[in-house]
Amino acid sequence: MRALKPIVLGLSAAFLLLADITPGPPFGVTISREAAAIVGVPRSPVSVAGVARRTTRRTVVAVEASQASATSAQQQATAQQQAATAQQQAATAQQQAAVAQQQAMAAGSPAIGTVVSSLPAGCTAAPKGGIEYYKCGNVYYRSAFQGNNLVYVVAQP
């Protein structure tokens, strides 16, 4: 009998926790309760506040992503434009150097300070005063660097 009391007490306590006693008609005791969600509590899935919060978050994330992609596309286009401009400037400089070299060769003796990319045929080394010159006919050239390119400058030793 002593062992039966705790068992009955435990079962009745469990029954009271699970049972739903309805105070209004129809009177009775049911084992299962009706599921009910309280709409309007901020963390519930269908609350107005929850829907507004999720919509705002999704909109902000979408706008930030579109702005980031637009910025990266603009930066890439700017980089391509700068590379094209640099190539065009290098081509123009090469054209000007070729024209200057042709004019110098056509005139016979180029002016002092004229820059050429290569020496004419038949030049010999002629060091003077510790500086290496190249003598081509009656014209002297001195080697120099223009950026990373080796060029020759008409000089007077």
CA distances from 112 to 98, 116, 124, 156 (A): 17, 11, 18, 7
The per-residue pLDDT for 26 is: 63
The rounded distance, in Å, linking the Cα atoms of 72 and 131 is 52
In a domain, 134, yes or no: yes
Structural domain boundaries, residue 72: 37-108
Q: How many domains does the chain have?
A: 2
pLDDT at position 33 is: 57
Q: pLDDT digit string (tens) for 100-122? A: 777 666 656 788 888 888 888 88
129 and 91 in a single domain? The answer is no
What does the pLDDT average to over 63-86? 89
Q: How many residues does the chain have?
A: 157
The confidence score (pLDDT) of residue 24 equals 60
